[in-house]
Structures are given as structure tokens and as C-alpha cells.
Amino acid sequence: MPRQIVLLALLALALTVYAVEPPPPEQAQPGPGPLFPADELHANPLHLSLAVVGATPTPLTGPLVTVGSLVAGEQHQAWNLEGVMTNRYSRTSLGAAMLVVQSAGGHPGTAALGQLGLLHVGHDLDCWALLDTDRFRALPRDWLSQITDQTAIGAGGIEAEIYTRVVTRAYYTSPRAFRQAVRKDVTYAHVQSEPERYRGTVIRVEGRLLRVNRFDPPFECQLAGVSDLYEAWIFNEQLGANPYCVLFTHWPHGLSTDLLGEAKIDRYLRVALEGYFFKKYRYKANDPRGRERDAPLVIGHGLLLLDSAATDTSSSNAPIKWLMGLFGAIFGGLVIGVIALTYWYRRSDGQVRQRILARMPEFELPPPDGVPLASPVAPRRPGSGSSRIPIPKRENLPPRFGNSPFASGFSSFEEKESPPPDEESGGSPRLRG
């Protein structure tokens, strides 16, 4: 028996030496030292695995050689003999594999219960964390105290770590939860004037979308499951040229991805977002002076598309276009009204004229050789009588003319007047019936 143990030890040593590649010449250390320095051994995992498989069926010594080979491979970093439950990543992988297997087989009624139980067990064993995305979770105060305003988010540092945690928390918080926790009394002026007081508050951003880009999320966010990170600039019409900078992790439904990367979106897209107010973000303005400005940085779950319309101008020109269209419509209506009234009056006038002409008798011309209405008057012979026109005798003069010389004149004139000529003399023209 001792002889067999000695042979087993020699065989394990031989297999271990065979499985280890000689170190490069430049890494060899001169002078005395250990026979096999651990930091200079470069084991080949393929050779060690072949030794383990080949020694397994050996009678009597097979199990011992297999154990020796496994231990030698772990010491020379060919593999790791840690258990599957040693770290969280291996536990998560094992739990995910079990969930997939349970969903593929088993009774449909009991598979769902088994998956639910496995999820709760994995949560208790720290394989994963079960989160209710419809429950709002506020940001801790010790996170918010480490954030500095009027700066950009740099790589590294405590603020960068907090930034990744806030992005991850926004990813696992649904828009419904944000909507329940939003504060409607906090406006742009509040977060600009007192950012320390309102940091971490859920606010609502609403306005026109002018730019949106996609970026790779930080490595810590990717480990937590965040695959996309979008940055958008939203302008509120009431605030003029003061924008919001928002970050979100889910692309909104109904919005085309062709807008990504455009310098300025010409279409009028009205969007909204509820999220954490993170800080006053300092950026370099796109103007000839290149001045630096501050914008509120808000981190949320996703955008909500409110309204969209195709236009080639900015929203500031929209009221002017609306007024110009209104004036054009009024002017066109007036022109059409004048034309319609003119036509209606002319038509009515023509109808009235036709009715009047219809009631008038028709004009008849006289015959060409008709009898004249009166006989011709014979000319007066000279000396046949007075040529004065007779004045009729006035009687019953007013009393004021009784004693006046005019009264006597009238009477004498009447007495001296000659009698009227007879009909045969032809002195006075009369019409004959």
C-alpha cells in the first residue's frame, strides 16, 4: 500500500510537470529558488484537462490523480474551482438558466408558480434584486450632497458614480411612478435659482424637441442592464432660448429614429418627460461668441410624444404665420362678399326692371296720314281790329282800390276797350271741335 501511494504521488507530479509549459527565457530568475515558482508557471488548460480525463479510468489511483490534476490546474490558474454560488454573477447565470429550463418544460399551470418561487429564492440569495418599477424611489440625500452645479459630468469621481446610479434607478422606474411623484409647483425659475434645494425632485419638462442623440451608457449601467442612453434638448416656448437637457433610457413610441444625430430638428415635435432634477449642467453654447450657459439636467425613463407637425420654421414664427393666414382669410372673405353682393343686386335690379316693363302698356305709333287735331288758323288782315289782347272785366274789386286812382283807371280802361271781334273776322284763334 505505501508503494502504491508513492507511485501515485510520482504520477501526479509527472502529469503536473507535463502540463506546465516552460517559462520564457527572459522571465527566468537567476539564483536558487523554489522548484516551481507559482508566478512563473504557465499551465495549458488543454493539457491539464486531457490529464484529468485520461487518469479518471485508471484503477485504484484514478480518482486520486484526477483530484491532483484539478488542484494543480487551480494553482497554476488554468481554471477556477470556485462553486457556482461563490459570486453574484455565477449565481445570476445559474438562476437565469433555471428560469429558462422551467419555462420550456413542465405543466403550464405549475411552471408559472415555479418561476415565481425561483425569483423570490434568487432575491433572497442575492442572485438578483426584485424591483417594483411602478413604485417610486427617491434619491438618497447622501447621493445628492456630492453633486456640484455649473459643471459638466466628468469621468471618474464620486459624482460620476452617483450619476450612473441615478441613470440605473431611472431605468427601473416606470413613467407611471414618475408621474405620481412629480411636483407641479417647481418651475424652471426654481431649479435655476435654488438647485441645491430642489435637487432630486421630480419635475415635468415640456416643450419642443430640437435635438436628440444616442450614447453608450456607462459600464456600470451596462452591468445593471441599461443598453441605451439618449440625450435630448427641449425648448419651452415661454422660456425663449433657455433649454432643458434631459437624459432617458427608453425610446418613445411614435418617434422616428431617423431624428438621431440631426443638428436641428425642423419638424415641430412637442414632447414631455418626468424625471429627477440632477444638477445645473454647464455647456458651451452654439453661437459665435462660444459662451457657456447653464441648463437644468433632468434624468427620466422615457420621452412622451405629445404633438407633431411638419414645419420649416421655428416655433417663434408660428404666431406670425397664423396671423398672416387669418388676415388673408378675412381679406379673401371680403372680396368674395363684395362680388356676391354686386351680383345679387344686379340680378335683383334686372328682375325688378323686367316686372315694371311687363306692367306698362305697349306704345303704338300713329298712322302716317292721320287727321290733324286742329284746323289751321287763318292769318289776320291788316286794320281789321285792335291787336291788343283783351283784358277781362274785373268786378268786385277789394275795398282798398275803391277810391284809388288805380280803380278809376281800371274802369276807364274797361269802358274804352273795343268789343271783341266776331268769329268771321278771324281776329282771335280758337280751336274748333
pLDDT per residue, tens digit, the chain (433 aa), is 445 454 445 444 444 444 444 445 444 445 555 544 555 556 677 777 777 777 777 777 777 877 777 777 777 777 777 777 777 777 777 777 777 777 666 666 677 787 788 888 888 877 778 888 999 999 999 999 999 998 888 778 899 999 999 999 999 999 999 999 999 999 999 999 999 999 999 999 999 999 999 999 999 999 888 999 999 999 987 776 789 999 999 999 889 999 998 988 988 899 999 999 999 998 887 777 768 889 999 999 999 999 766 444 445 566 777 888 888 899 898 999 889 888 888 888 888 888 887 777 665 666 665 555 555 666 666 655 555 555 555 555 555 545 555 444 444 444 444 555 554 444 445 444 4
Say whether 276 sits in a helix, a strand or coil. strand
DSSP 232-269: EEEE-GGGTT-EEEEEESBPPTT--GGGTT-SS--SEE
Where are the strands (E) in 108-220, listed by range? Answer: 202-215
Nearest to 18 by CA among 48, 41, 38, 40: 48
H helices present in 299-317, as ranges: none
Q: Cα(52)–Cα(54) distance, rounded to whole angstroms?
A: 6
Rg of the chain's alpha carbons, rounded to an integer?
59
Q: Cα(153)–Cα(297) distance, rounded to whole angstroms?
A: 11
Q: Cα(408)–Cα(310) distance, rounded to whole angstroms?
A: 110
Contact 250, 302 (CB under 8 A): yes
Q: How far, rounded to the nearest angstrom, does the alpha carbon of residue 199 sit from its chain's CA centroid?
A: 26
Would you tell me how many other CB atoms lie within 10 Å of the CB of residue 426?
A: 16
For 263, residues 6+ apart whose C-beta sits below 8 A from its C-beta are 211
DSSP 75-99: HTTS-----TTSSHHHHHHHHHHHH
Say whether 378 sits in a helix, a strand or coil. coil
Domains observed in the chain: 2-75 (no CATH), 141-318 (2.40.50.140)
Burial class (CB in 10 A: 0-12, 13-18, 19+), 398: exposed
